[in-house]
């Protein structure tokens, strides 16, 4: 019999809310056990026989994926790894830039990334300090490897909404990227500028605008992203505004989901 959160709470846990498991209540512990495979034995007050029986039941429902919280980052990463698995590393410099390097007998790609570079061997990606990237960061890098075309940036900028099939993604762009930037840097445009320059951003050229900050990040050799930021003014009733723009060729290099992940990562790096 499968154990739901309520079953676990009612028939297995002692319901004393003693907090010995590290959770404030038995119910919150039950929720973590059922949806995130938190070990049931972390509650030290369950009769050993009941514990063994319950662990068996939980193992069966975990195997079926029943009531498990979806690991969206893990699923996206698996998909991107499969997508990139068949790429020929020798083709990559011509397609997306970077250079081939020898790594203990294996051929890897050194790919410029913001103000540094990535080392990519197969689907394994590390930065210059030998750190693994976050899972969402790996997703957009791998999708770029799999999809990146030869198109060079044209210098014609577009907002995300101007690309096909992006209407449903605008909520993520607003809530995960633009609004956090506004919240973090409102009244601190100079701080944003300094942070961006430290990430290798350069002034946005040839674009008529009245933004207080107008910069271009070279995320990958063929994927520039521009950021415009209008700061609050002391004498005006005006709220700060932030907008990311993409070269019109970006969809040749990344799928829309990856453009969102990349934008979120840029926001994280700026707000760190
Ligand atoms: S240790 Fe067990 S009894 Fe105590 S709060 Fe956690 S689940 Fe409840």
122 alpha-carbon distance from chain centroid: 20
Rg of the chain over Cα atoms, rounded to whole angstroms, equals 24
Class of domain 5-64: mainly alpha
- Is any ligand 1 atom within 6 A of the Cβ of residue 22? no
Cα distance between residue 272 and residue 268, in whole Å: 6
Q: How far is the CA of 63 from the centre of ligand 1 (A)?
A: 25
Q: Where are the domains of the chain?
A: 5-64, 72-147, 157-271
Q: What is the pLDDT of residue 235?
A: 65
Alpha-helical (H) ranges within 65-110 are: 72-85, 92-96
Q: What is the pLDDT of residue 239?
A: 87
Q: What is the pLDDT of residue 236?
A: 66
Cα distance between residue 183 and residue 270, in whole Å: 12
Are the beta carbons of 121 and 200 closer than 8 angstroms?
no
Are the beta carbons of 42 and 21 closer than 8 angstroms?
yes
- Is any ligand 1 atom within 6 A of the Cβ of residue 19? yes
Cα distance between residue 215 and residue 217, in whole Å: 7
Cα distance between residue 197 and residue 97, in whole Å: 22
Mean pLDDT per 10-residue section of the chain, whose length is 272 residues: 92 95 94 94 96 95 89 88 89 94 92 95 89 90 92 94 90 94 94 96 82 95 96 79 96 95 95 88
Q: What is the pLDDT of residue 73?
A: 84
The secondary structure of residue 41, as a DSSP letter, is G
- Is any ligand 1 atom within 6 A of the Cβ of residue 13? yes
- Is any ligand 1 atom within 6 A of the Cβ of residue 17? yes
Which residue's alpha carbon is at the smallest distance from atom 4 of ligand 1? 18
Q: Which of 9, 14, 27, 47 to mutate to test the pocket of ligand 1 (most atoms within 8 A of CB)?
A: 14
Which residue's alpha carbon is at the smallest distance from atom 6 of ligand 1? 21
Cα distance between residue 160 and residue 111, in whole Å: 25
Q: What is the pLDDT of residue 97?
A: 95
106 alpha-carbon distance from chain centroid: 28
Which residue's alpha carbon is at the smallest distance from atom 8 of ligand 1? 26
Report the number of secondary-structure helices (H) and strands (E) in the chain: 11, 9
118 alpha-carbon distance from chain centroid: 16
Are the beta carbons of 230 and 240 closer than 8 angstroms?
yes
Q: What is the pLDDT of residue 65?
A: 85
β-strands 241-247, 223-230: how paired? antiparallel
Q: What is the pLDDT of residue 128?
A: 86
Q: Is the pTM of this model over 0.85?
A: no
């Amino acid at each position: 019999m499968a154990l739901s959160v309520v079953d676990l709470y009612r028939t297995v846990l002692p319901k004393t809310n003693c907090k010995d498991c590290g959770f404030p209540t038995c119910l919150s512990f039950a929720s973590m056990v059922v949806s995130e495979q938190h070990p049931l034995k972390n509650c030290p007050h369950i009769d050993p026989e009941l514990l063994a029986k319950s662990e068996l039941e939980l193992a069966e429902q975990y195997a079926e994926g029943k009531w498990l919280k979806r690991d969206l980052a893990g699923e996206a990463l698996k998909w991107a790894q499969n997508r990139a698995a068949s790429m020929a590393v020798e083709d990559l410099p011509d397609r997306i830039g970077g250079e081939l390097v020898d790594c203990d007998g294996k051929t890897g790609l050194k790919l410029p990334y913001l103000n540094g570079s990535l080392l990519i061997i197969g689907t394994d990606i590390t930065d210059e300090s030998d750190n693994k990237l976050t899972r969402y960061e790996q997703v957009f890098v791998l999708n770029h490897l799999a999809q990146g075309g030869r198109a060079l940036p044209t210098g014609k900028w577009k907002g995300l909404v101007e690309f096909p099939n992006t209407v449903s993604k605008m909520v993520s762009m607003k809530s995960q990227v633009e609004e956090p930037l506004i919240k973090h840097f409102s009244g601190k445009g100079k701080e944003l500028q300094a942070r961006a320059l430290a990430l290798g951003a350069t002034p946005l050229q040839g674009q008529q605008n009245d933004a207080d900050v107008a910069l271009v990040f070279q995320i990958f050799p063929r994927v520039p992203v521009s950021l415009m930021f209008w700061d609050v003014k002391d004498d005006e009733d005006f709220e700060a505004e932030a907008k990311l723009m993409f070269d019109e060729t970006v969809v040749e290099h990344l799928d829309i989901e990856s453009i969102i992940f990349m934008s979120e990562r840029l926001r994280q790096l700026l707000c760190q």
